[in-house]
Structure 1
Amino acid sequence: MATDEQRLRVAVLGAGLIGIDLADKIRQSGKLELSLVAGRDRDSLGLRRAAEMGHPTTAGGIRAVVDAGPFDAVFDATNAESHADHWAALRPTGTTLIDLTPTGLGTVIVPGVNGHQAAAHRHLNLVSCGGQAAIPVLHAISRRCTPTYIEVVSTGASASAGRATRLNLDQYIATTSAAIRTFTGTPDAKVMVNLSPARPAPPFRVAMTVLADGIRPAPVRTNLAAAAQAVRAYTPGFQVTSLAVDQGRISVAVEVTASGGRLPHHAGSIDIINAAAVLLVEQLTTAAR
């Protein structure tokens, strides 16, 4: 495991769209060393790209990760159905497991809201890409009023959603809804997801409607601006594109465009959750000192 002078030794489990962007982001980090990218198909495009980037790769899946460990942290970029088994395999090794699948397992972390709690836990859950985009905004609003109903509609480019994402849409909706209720105290939250095949591919958009009592427009706007600035610190392509504050109702929309790296601009959904994951693990180096 890493010492104070070393970069943290990490692995990526999963070689799809999310896993390969993680590899790219970790490569750019001055605090992390990517020691393994693990998939299950040795002929997959993702593993080939990881090898071209100069990273060690394996088609041995979770067993290969355990055998190559211990790691300071492992990023799980596979699917919700497999994650519980991955945690069961990695838990005895002492690693910190970052869950990028919508399982609802582990401690839910959203940087800018409760990122300071991450270092105290070894099993971290990042909700979903929609959750990472919406929850900072909704949490900021809920601190200034009392929401009774929240509706969140996420629209992403079809090209940004890999096979695992499509298979996990039901879990995505359930996990994101539960996290919104937890972070806002709202009893009723509804989440919807659209995958758009439009060309050119649209940016990742999240539209939110909040019904609430006691809305005071000025404090809501102030809190929302601060929340957006906090997200942009690690996801520069995050922008609030519209905001309407009326009596009993708040409507807000955000867009996330990917900036830098190998991702196309429309892949903001991947950019925001991966940026959050890498940030949390980078912060472990500070916590260890």
Structure 2
Amino acid sequence: MSVQTKVAIIGSGNIGTDLMFKILRRSRHLALGGLAGVDPASEGLARAKRLGVATTDRGIDGLRELDCWPEVQIVFDATSAAAHARHQEICLADGKVMIDLTPAAVGPYVVPVVNGDAHLNAQNLNMVTCGGQATIPIVAAVSSVARVRYAEIVASIASKSAGPGTRANIDEFTETTSRAIAAVGGSDRGKAIIILNPAEPPLVMRDTVYCLAEGGEPAAIKAAIVKMVESVQAYVPGYRLKQEVQIERIGDNQPIYIPDMSEKFTGYKVTTFLEVEGAGDYLPSYAGNLDIMTSAALNTAERVAAARAGAVRA
């Protein structure tokens, strides 16, 4: 029987609570030690208590006082970019690995299906953003068979799925996602846009990925994207192509001008339309933006736990 790695969550809002349910229901390698929030009336804390999970409404300070803290190896931060700096400082001093679900970007960017094994020894792993988790795999797929000169993503999420933390981090979302599109996706330049859609009933998360690619062949580009979608579905079953990948040839006679790069482009314009439906562990199925973040964080934590267990056995 394998020994489970003890973990804890900071943040008892939608993301932290959904992550709690994923760990309790799905993970064979992680054991949840505690959940920390700052609101005594938090529904997440109430649910955790009913499930027998140790809780505190005093944030990370209270978490450190729980009996489980000395055994905790991995801490998920599901709060905000502003709060993460202090959480990181404390966890680093206490020897904990952090899985950061905020756009603070203190540690290296991690998108499991692209570079999930590249930073397993890092003390802090950043999960970029929901838009990043959904779209960077597509940019990386195109980059694997062609040079992506420019990539732009538009993430549209239901307004109801955007809590206070998400709304407070809009600027960080665009900046962090844009940087990660290049750093992890492999494009020369990246740009991100997020839309909070107030439609009723709430719409499932939709993402559009535009890539301007040089070289490669349309068939190879399409095949790489389809293969990547299948890989993401291994941990996010509701991730899918909304329609067939569109590829348009941009010739010398009508080049595209890229304002962000102050240059003209010829090659292929690759457009990918995605839909991300949540698994419904705690959140509504339309909240795919939150589901893909918690699923990616869980996948990353399990990779870290497996690597640490292997190092101990060795």
TM-score normalised by structure 2 residue count: 0.88
Deviations 1:96-119 (A, max 9, x none): 100000012102111111111232
1:125 deviates by: 0.3
Cα RMSD for the two superposed structures: 1.4
> Aligned to 2:54, which of 36, 43, 56?
56
Instruction: Give the corresponding residue for 1:66.
Output: 64
- Judged with a 3 Å threshold, the aligned counterparts in structure 2 of structure 1 residues 284 and 213 are, in CA distance, closer, same or farther, namely closer
Deviations 1:43-99 (A, max 9, x none): 222212222233111011011223332311010000000101100011021111000
Q: Tell me if the contact between 1:66 and 1:90 (Cα under 8 Å) persists in the aligned partners.
A: no
Larger deviation: 156-165 or 43-52? 43-52
Stretches of 4+ moved more than 4 A in 1? Answer: none
Identity over aligned pairs, percent: 38
Q: Tell me if the contact between 2:115 and 2:184 (Cα under 8 Å) persists in the aligned partners.
A: no
Instruction: Give the corresponding residue for 1:9.
Output: 6
Equivalent AA in structure 1 for residue 35 of structure 2: V
1:216 deviates by: 1.2
Q: Tell me if the contact between 1:12 and 1:74 (Cα under 8 Å) persists in the aligned partners.
A: yes
Please tell me whether residue 82 in structure 1 is matched to residue 83 in structure 2. yes
Q: Distance in 2 between matches of 1:134 and 1:175?
A: 13
1:258 deviates by: 0.9
Instruction: Give the corresponding residue for 1:264.
Output: 284
Q: Tell me if the contact between 1:76 and 1:99 (Cα under 8 Å) persists in the aligned partners.
A: yes
Task: Give the match's secondary structure for 1:272.
Answer: helix
- Judged with a 3 Å threshold, the aligned counterparts in structure 2 of structure 1 residues 110 and 160 are, in CA distance, closer, same or farther, namely same
Q: Tell me if the contact between 2:129 and 2:177 (Cα under 8 Å) persists in the aligned partners.
A: yes
Q: Tell me if the contact between 1:108 and 1:124 (Cα under 8 Å) persists in the aligned partners.
A: yes
1:199 deviates by: 1.1
Larger deviation: 141-150 or 81-90? 141-150
Instruction: Give the corresponding residue for 1:43.
Output: 41
Equivalent AA in structure 2 for residue 148 of structure 1: R
1:228 deviates by: 0.7
Q: Which runs of 5+ in 2 are unaligned?
A: 250-267
Query: What are the within-5 Å matches in structure 2 for residues 151-190 of structure 1?
Result: 151-190=152-191
Instruction: Give the corresponding residue for 1:246.
Output: 248
Q: Tell me if the contact between 2:74 and 2:301 (Cα under 8 Å) persists in the aligned partners.
A: yes
Q: Distance in 1 between matches of 2:2 and 2:185?
A: 39
> Aligned to 2:24, which of 17, 22, 27?
27
Q: Tell me if the contact between 2:139 and 2:186 (Cα under 8 Å) persists in the aligned partners.
A: no
Q: Tell me if the contact between 2:10 and 2:16 (Cα under 8 Å) persists in the aligned partners.
A: yes
Please tell me whether residue 285 in structure 1 is matched to residue 287 in structure 2. no
Q: Distance in 1 between matches of 2:301 and 2:126?
A: 12
Q: Distance in 2 between matches of 1:190 and 1:279?
A: 26
Instruction: Give the corresponding residue for 1:104.
Output: 105
1:190 deviates by: 1.6
Q: Distance in 2 between matches of 1:30 and 1:208?
A: 34
Larger deviation: 78-87 or 68-77? 68-77
1:6 deviates by: 2.2
Instruction: Give the number of aligned pairs.
Output: 286
Q: Distance in 2 between matches of 1:148 and 1:114?
A: 20
Q: Tell me if the contact between 2:14 and 2:283 (Cα under 8 Å) persists in the aligned partners.
A: no
Query: What are the within-5 Å matches in structure 2 for residues 168-247 of structure 1?
Result: 168-242=169-243, 243-247=245-249
Q: Which runs of 5+ in 1 are unaligned?
A: none
Q: Tell me if the contact between 1:204 and 1:269 (Cα under 8 Å) persists in the aligned partners.
A: yes
